[in-house]
Structure 1
């Protein structure tokens, strides 16, 4: 659904070729926003009205990332990886994005982390199994979160449970009080809807909301 013109924004999506990033691009375009998708591979996204694709293979290219972010209203980070072993994609990417945002005056950042990171890590079966299986990715997310919290940006860190490639429901719940159980999950489409809404109209500024189906 297209939002009113007064609410249309220019958004940057990092990690735009991953499942969540692609969903965020789709949601934003359908709502009428202008989207700049930062990708690492040529031809990674098909052309679409309202979409600008910027190829930046290496986030250490600070000038190119700053040029991509300049003039936008918000940055959505859906960075992640399927790689095994120690990873730093979230930390490196968000560090570069925060530097570019500082240089260009863009303040709004909405970043995808995961339930179980930082203070949300508990002794539940969910957290225990998550850290046992993908602890390397969780350490990367915790490092990313620390950078965001220390920044001067207007940030929101979203902590979903397991993600599913299923149709959107539009009936998801957000907040910090919901209990995440071993079977908790949410669709990438619903997560993407929340990311775009939160980027455009912040409801959880400097907070770490969960999202549950």
Structure 2
């Protein structure tokens, strides 16, 4: 497959790029800085310093089979990285005819903000980031692409196991977590064999 990974310089993005290359896919990694990733066989690096640059986003998306977004903000305070990035991605997909989109969000976003202790604590600590994900999800759901929104709980830098649970009604609690490596594993499985079209599955170890 020809994949494009947005947010490829982050933890989940790096894992997705590495596993995608290991599986033999052609991967385009979208990063903000040219030194964010090292060149390697099968990898095309697309430097997009500003995700509102429609021309650069469209160039990265054009001709790909699947778009994966692992975008996430690092800054504190009001943020719109996920919203702005996905808006540009969706516009580019419309213009280029690319259909498949897989996006990393978070449990506790949109309707999964269920009033549980987990959701209340998450939004108390990361309210700005979660509101960015809320808006991002609204854009995706209103689009005409073949989307999947993936909602992990806490992310860990632990080894890849390939063993995890996935489901739209999966119970998520305060101790729930998933490794970035296993999250990447699921993103690539979903890219290869879509099982959650127009769904927002949760994932946890």
TM class, shorter-chain normalised? over 0.9
**Distance of 1:77 and 1:200 partners within structure 2:** 15
Matched, 1:32 2:53: no
The root-mean-square deviation of aligned C-alpha atoms, in Å, is: 0.7
Task: Determine the structure 2 residue equivalent to 1:184.
Answer: 176
For 1:64 and 1:119, how far apart are their aligned partners in 2?
32
Please give the alpha-carbon distance, in whole angstroms, between the structure 2 residues aligned to 1:92 and 1:169: 33
Q: Which of 155, 180, 189 is the matching residue for 1:197?
A: 189
**Which residue in the other structure is 1:47 paired with?**
39
C-alpha deviation, 1:81, in angstroms: 1.6
Deviation at 1:87, TM superposition (A): 0.4
User: Greater shift after overlay, 95-104 or 119-128?
Assistant: 119-128
Q: Could you tell me how far 1:177 is from its partner in structure 2?
A: 2.0
User: What is the distance in 2 between the residues matched to 1:177 and 1:139?
Assistant: 22
TM-superposed CA distance for 1:48, in Å, is 1.0
TM-score scaled by structure 2? 0.98
Residues 83-92 or 192-201, more deviating: 192-201
Unaligned ranges ≥5, structure 1: 1-8
- TM-score, scaled relative to structure 1: 0.95
Q: Distance in 1 between matches of 2:71 and 2:53?
A: 17
Task: Write the distance in 1 (CA, Å) between the matches of 2:87 and 2:141.
Answer: 12
Q: Does 1:139 align with 2:131?
A: yes
Tell me which of 128, 136, 153 is aligned to 1:161.
153
SS at 1:127's partner residue? Answer: helix
Alignment partner for residue 142 of structure 2, among 150, 153, 163?
150
Q: CA deviation at 1:132?
A: 0.5
Unaligned residue ranges in structure 2 (runs of 5+): none
Query: Displaced runs of 4+ in structure 1, greater than 4 A?
Result: none
Check if 1:64 corresponds to 2:56. yes
* Aligned position for 1:23: 15
Q: Output the CA distance in 2 between the equivalents of 1:127 and 1:60.
A: 30
C-alpha displacement of 1:123: 1.9
Q: Deviations over 1:29-72 (max 9, x none)?
A: 11110000011112110011110001111122211211111111
Q: Distance in 2 between matches of 1:161 and 1:57?
A: 28
